[in-house]
Amino acid sequence: MNRKASFPPIVGPDTRLLLLGSLPGEASLRASRYYAHPQNQFWRLIGAVIGGDDLPALDYEARLAALRQAGVGLWDVVADAIRPGSLDGAIRDHRPNDLAALASGLPMLAAIGFNGGTASRIGRRMMGDAPGVRLIDLPSSSPAYTLSYAAKLSQWMRLREFSRIGRNSMDI
């Protein structure tokens, strides 16, 4: 069985909020894009957080540009692993990404959001104490996690204070 690998991080020197998934699913790997499965609610959730509710309607590059403008970065906690299918529960023999090294190179980083339980479990172990960075567990945006969208959104909105757009709108 072939190993599946994560994508490179999407970050910049002004990244304030880093969102970490576990490992891209089959649809994302085929498309070479983060959160490509049409039923994954990631783009809808983060769009609401940064005030870009129409984010899912944009093409992929425009979505990424909106995230960069909001100071939001993306990556995964798993560098590579054996996993049949797309479910996190099937991840075996994983090698983690060096999250602490990435975080230490982001001078504006204020928070890391873990998209789902597997991302949190692996990511928190890799981050350790992470002084000055708030670690936030989020319900998975995956369609396999059947919590209602409204319930997911209420927890994802905790991220708003860490995005550049959310901070600006709260300062008005």
Q: Catalogue the active-site residues.
A: 40
Q: Return the sign of the alpha-carbon dihedral for residues 117, 123, 128, 131.
A: negative
Burial of 41 (0-12, 13-18, 19+ CB in 10 A): buried
If residue 26 lies in a helix (H) or strand (E), which one and from where to where? helix 26-31
Q: Are 17 and 162 in contact (CB under 8 A)?
A: yes
Query: Cα–Cα distance between 141 and 164 in angstroms, integer?
Result: 22
Which residues is 3 bridged to in the sheet? 82
Joined together, the tokens standing for residue 119 give: 């991302």
User: What's the one-letter identity of residue 60?
Assistant: Y
- Give the per-residue SS3 of 122-135: HHHHHHCCCCCCEE
